[in-house]
Chains A and B, each alone.
Chain A
């Protein structure tokens, strides 16, 4: 599957933007400006951007807490993201929820994040079946983590989706840890994708640090789902490059492991490939980098200048009739 050069450069820019926004979030957290938990998507840029790129405009996605890239590709702006993390009224949740909790936007085909993991899976299956009932050629895609895979909801969703041949795609982001639990304490198998055989659906393992490989397998799965041939389970292998959230120093993660994965950094890899193909010159790289930096600075200023919500707003707009 070859994408037009223009797409490749846009994908690159979205990956850079994801990382720059993520770095800024980390900085703001360390400055004490972010309340509560702050999840990082460092290392997950290829999965989130590559997968979101494979969706059509009418498809829907349920991103996980490390899928900032998917939010951005679908059209959430850096301003909205930082306002959200800083708890401002200008954010999608109007400052009443933090981090990726509350960044859903149905107009952009983004299902809101559900905190108990992985309840986004049955939710996504419901969306997929709604498309099926209405005979709309749309696909629903959900992300879940290696830790989330142990929950009953993951199994119930994969089973029902395969029986119903739902137009859905399920991507497990295996980043080696669920909080402090390593995958060897999470499951007794090598590849989570091997579970697909137990559901009678295709299971694919993909290098989650190779954005084009991710795009490729997700694209195939999305088109398969659109043709009515049912769901696919994709396991994208990567590494969580920061702690579970900004408060966690991840002392339990061996430094050598992080070092090894740093060598496989998805952005550096993609950048090298683009340069090798002659698609990215120094000037172009410079131009993209400064555009990204400007967007993040602008978003920071916007968010910091935005007002906090008033206390009385806490209950407004929670239910549809309020």
Chain B
């Protein structure tokens, strides 16, 4: 499967944009301008690769809180993400009333995230089956961490999807930690994808720092789902190079050397090298992309900073559809 050059370029820009936005969010949080940030740094390769492998005009996305790059590549704008971060009225997920990174976007078929880990998994299976029952040619993709695999929701969702051959892709972004809990204390196995046999669906593990590998694996899973072949469990292995959130100090539970070692294997370094080696990128165009990303993020930051807060009277409404 060859990836068109144009797609590679687009993917690279999305990764750079997501990283630039994420860095800015950290700065804003450290400056006290916003309350909280949960970062997706290091996972952009998985998210952008997967987003481009889907049909972003039709398919459904159940992201999780680290999926900044995913939702950007899916069609959300830096402005929309910043509105959420600043808790402004114009935030498409909740009108500024949810925690940041609880994405939801009706027009883009991004289904609003619930805070309890793994609840999005059975929800995604439900949407996938609903689309199937309606005869829609739609695939649903749902993201979660390796920590989420220990939840009953993961098990019930995967089992039900396999029995009913739901057109859904389970994308586990295995970043080796669930807050301070390393994978070795989360499960007694090496690969999350080995859980797939227990449900009767294919399971694959890919290098999550290799955007093209992720793109291909998710593409294959999407084709399977679209042609009636049922669900797939895709495990993309990476590393969380940042603390769990802006409230976490990861020096308490892991060494700096470990973090630095993984930073060197990050998706941007990797993808950049690939593009340069194949003469698909040069310094001039890279500088142009960087400048463009910074300009977009600057603009979005200013826009959100000046945007109005939600009205107090709307604090508890609307919550349900039709409110």
Contact = CB atoms under 8 A, between A and B. Distances in A.
B132 to A, nearest CB: 16
A194 B198 CA distance: 6
Contacts of A163: 185-188
B198 A186 contact: no
Contact of B187 (A150, A152, A165, A200): A200
Contacts of B195: 198
Contact of A201 (B153, B160, B188): B188
B152 A199 contact: no
Interface in B176-206: 185-189, 194-201
Contacts of A312: none
Contact of B156 (A152, A165, A188, A198): A152
A194 B149 CA distance: 17
Interface in B197-253: 197-201
B263 interface: no
Nearest to A160: B150
A101 interface: no
Q: Is the interface of A mostly helix, strand, loop or mixed?
A: helix
Given A155-B154, A156-B152, A189 B187 contact: no
A195 interface: yes
A189 B199 contact: yes
A305 B295 CA distance: 88
Interface string A141-156: 0000000001111111
A185 B163 contact: yes
B11 interface: no
Contacts of A196: 198
B305 interface: no
Contact of A150 (B159, B194, B200): B159
Chain A, interface size category, equals: 20 to 34
Chain B, interface size category, equals: 20 to 34
Interface in A129-169: 150-156, 159-160, 162-163, 165
Most buried by B among A186, A199, A201: A199
A197 interface: yes
B162 interface: yes
Contacts of B109: none
A322 to B, nearest CB: 33
Contacts of B156: 150-152, 155
Contacts of A151: 152, 156
Nearest to A230: B188
B317 interface: no
A187 interface: yes
B155 A154 contact: yes
B273 interface: no
A189 B194 CA distance: 14
Given A152-B155, A156-B152, A189-B200, 4 more contacts: A150-B156, A150-B160, A160-B150, A198-B189
Nearest 8 A-B pairs (CB), nearest first?
Answer: A152-B152, A188-B200, A155-B155, A200-B188, A195-B198, A198-B195, A188-B162, A200-B189
9 contacts: A152-B152, A155-B154, A159-B149, A159-B187, A163-B185, A194-B197, A197-B197, A198-B198, A230-B188
Interface of A: 150-156, 159-160, 162-163, 165, 185-189, 194-201, 230
